Structure 1
Amino acid sequence: MAKRDYYDILGISRSAEASEIKSAYRKLAIKYHPDKNPDDKEAEDKFKEAAEAYEILSNSEKRQRYDQFGHSANSASGFGGSGGMNMDDIFSQFGDIFGGGGSPFDSFFGGGSRGGRRVQRGTNLRIKVKLTLEEVAKGVEKKVKVNKQIHCHTCDGTGAKDKSSSKTCGTCGGSGTVRRVTNTILGQMQTSSTCPTCNGEGVEITSKCNTCHGDGLVRGEETISINIPAGVSEGMQLSMSGKGNSAARGGIPGDLIILVEEIPHESLKRDGVNVIYDLYINFADAALGTTVEIPTIDGKAKIKIDAGTQGGKILRLKGKGVPEVNSYHKGDQLVYVNVWTPKAVSAEERTLLEKLKGSANFKPQPGKSEKSFFERIKEYFE
């Protein structure tokens, strides 16, 4: 079943500002919240659908990729997206949406630890990946070693020295929030705030782990396999959800942001989806015609140069360029023909050229020549 458009899900226009996106999601989160719709599978699905839409559209980088490539930007090659969001992921967003209190229903319902307890999120990591033109054209799997924060293996990320060193917070009872009831002229008002004792985690540590000193995290190295789709370009940013720094206390890991860098090719130049090659031939080959071998992304290829070829002519090798990202369309290879004029000639060569110089065939004939270089360029792109 095809996914619905994220803008339609939130009921906003494609030009909506960040504040509009946040407001629209807040309304839907309240409307379809599980505490308000117990045992309602349809409401739960809409709740998750709205959370997924908000996760993409509230992030400028993910939103830009979605606007350009649609849902394929989030599913192709494992980049971005939130198709596997669970309730913990969703409730972790509420600190931003509802001002740090977790679920907006905590003060109306029982206030279970699921919505109130603060869920930490690891920070994002950024790396650069250098790609050759061949790798860009065909797509590639890259394995990179990333130095990052990982869970402490000694305490399994809890930060406690042992099991007896960690206990439920006595102040909030493990919920991560404390509630206060105040009397006003309108009656009693109940408010909730982050527990000051456990900082919203719901757990107190009496004795810290000797390895991570209570942080639950240590520096480590992870080898990550990155599947880069064909057609990416210089400066494009891709992301892998959950591959950034780990978060303490079983929190949500950050994302890995991959910045694409292209390694210049020794012979070919990229121009969007097209590839350009400058071919240099001598005057004799241009006049008599010849067959030459040129480099392409796929290897060597032979092309025919017709007799009387003029300098500036453009030959096209259809489908020998770079594919568009997540598309079947491929560009072409354009071969720019340049007639090489020697800067110095021998006495014998000069004698031959002097004889040819007077021939009628060697006199410029603008009216009979092929179209100009700029005219051919214009025709090609039209």
Structure 2
Amino acid sequence: MAFIDYYKILGVSKNASEADIKKAYRKLARKYHPDLNPNDKVAEKKFKEINEANEVLSNSENRKKYDQYGEHWQHAEEYEKAKQQRQYQKSYQGGTGGYSEEDFSDFFENMFGGRASRGGQTQVKFRGQDFNAELQLDLKDVYTTHKRTLTVNNKNIRITIPAGVENGQIIKIKGHGGKGINGGPNGDLYIQFSIVNHSKFKRDKDNLYSTIDLDLYKALLGGEILVDTFNGKVKLNIKPETQNGTQVKLKSKGFPKYKKEGQFGDLYITYQIKLPTRLSEKEKELIKELQKLR
């Protein structure tokens, strides 16, 4: 297995800061994103490499292991345990307990190179690397449960996206990460959702918030109006003498609750009273009369 230089993939030096790595990843991810490069196999491969590099270098612990063990960073703990066991065996057998460079090479060949270990022992199986990806969706896309096909590592994966997924939420797709070593299980694919809101509603978890204009006469005298919800209009009764800034709750008219079919949050509507403009002389006279009465 050839050594993968993740620093080179992101175009940063080995002493790059976390901020430098994050900035480089975002810039390259935008450039090579499949949505901007449809049917471009080269860009697709590059996008995969960029995500793999970011997964390792953006995590301080993973980065430390990678700097020490290279492409085998995920198996650092197994190596350390095996190293301690071999040192114990050498000491028990009357050896010095040391660990030579040759032993080091043999260890990696045995564990990762595909040849049988000494004495005909069975090869150790290791789980494949986990992959990370980001999926951008519009808020309306996650109002209902739907299926979507993603291309990961040159494979099409059809996934179900539950209604109510939140911005930044991560879900795991089991077995769709890197291939296992020596017959070990595949890694998993972790998808982080980036949800863009182009609606007039503000979302806070399961609840939605909206501000609507209410004319002065309706606010004073009361009446009925039609208001928008996320999936249609509803009729709303306005109480007489409604004050500016009054908030009302429409129960179960908010956003779907994640993995709770048929359950919704609430919609909160705030009234913003709109004063009339371009008053006629007659209107001004009537308002003055009203002012005298008050």
Q: Normalized against structure 2, the TM-score is what?
A: 0.54
1:120 Cα shift? 4.2
Q: Which residue of 1 aligns with 2:253?
A: 320
Q: Is 1:295 paired with 2:276?
A: no
Q: Is 1:340 paired with 2:274?
A: yes
Closer, same or farther in 2 for the Cα pair 1:94/1:245, shift >3 Å? closer
Give matches, 1:340-379, under 5 Å.
Answer: 340-342=274-276, 344-346=277-279, 348=280, 350-359=281-290, 363=294
1:243 Cα shift? 1.0
Give me the whole-angstrom Cα distance separating, in 2, the residues matched to 1:94 and 1:246: 14
Gaps of 5+ in 1: 1-92, 149-220, 364-382
Correspondent of 1:145 among 144, 151, 171: 151
1:293 Cα shift? 2.1
What is the one-letter code of the residue matched to 1:340?
K
Runs of 4+ in 1 over 4 A off after TM superposition: 111-114, 360-363
Q: Is 1:125 paired with 2:159?
A: no
Q: Given that residues 139 and 199 in structure 2 are in contact (C-alpha distance below 8 angstroms), is that contact kept between their aligned partners in structure 1?
A: no
- Specify the structure having the higher radius of gyration (Cα): 1
Give me the whole-angstrom Cα distance separating, in 2, the residues matched to 1:257 and 1:222: 15
Quick one: percent identity of the two aligned structures? 27
Give me the whole-angstrom Cα distance separating, in 2, the residues matched to 1:253 and 1:97: 17
Is the partner of 2:82 in helix, strand or coil?
coil
Closer, same or farther in 2 for the Cα pair 1:334/1:361, shift >3 Å? farther
Q: Given that residues 124 and 256 in structure 1 are in contact (C-alpha distance below 8 angstroms), is that contact kept between their aligned partners in structure 2?
A: yes
Q: Is 1:265 paired with 2:246?
A: no
RMSD between superposed Cα atoms in Å: 3.5
What is the one-letter code of the residue matched to 1:253?
N
Q: Which residue of 1 aligns with 2:114?
A: none
Q: Which residue of 2 aligns with 1:101?
A: 82
Give matches, 1:28-43, under 5 Å.
Answer: none
Give me the whole-angstrom Cα distance separating, in 2, the residues matched to 1:227 and 1:112: 45
Give me the whole-angstrom Cα distance separating, in 2, the residues matched to 1:327 and 1:298: 18
1:176-199 Cα shifts (integer Å, max 9, x gaps):
xxxxxxxxxxxxxxxxxxxxxxxx
Q: Given that residues 227 and 233 in structure 2 are in contact (C-alpha distance below 8 angstroms), is that contact kept between their aligned partners in structure 1?
A: yes
Give me the whole-angstrom Cα distance separating, in 1, the residues matched to 2:148 and 2:193: 12
Give me the whole-angstrom Cα distance separating, in 2, the residues matched to 1:97 and 1:230: 40
Closer, same or farther in 2 for the Cα pair 1:237/1:309, shift >3 Å? same
Q: Given that residues 124 and 182 in structure 2 are in contact (C-alpha distance below 8 angstroms), is that contact kept between their aligned partners in structure 1?
A: no
Is the partner of 1:359 in helix, strand or coil?
helix
Give me the whole-angstrom Cα distance separating, in 2, the residues matched to 1:340 and 1:247: 64
1:90-144 Cα shifts (integer Å, max 9, x gaps):
xxx9973673539x8xx8xxx9855xx2334433222222233344333332222
Give matches, 1:45-194, under 5 Å.
Answer: 96=77, 99-101=80-82, 113-114=121-122, 117-146=123-152, 148=153
What is the one-letter code of the residue matched to 1:336?
T
- Greater per-residue helix proportion: 2
**Aligned residue pair count:** 192
Is the partner of 1:230 in helix, strand or coil?
coil
Is the partner of 2:80 in helix, strand or coil?
coil
Closer, same or farther in 2 for the Cα pair 1:262/1:299, shift >3 Å? same
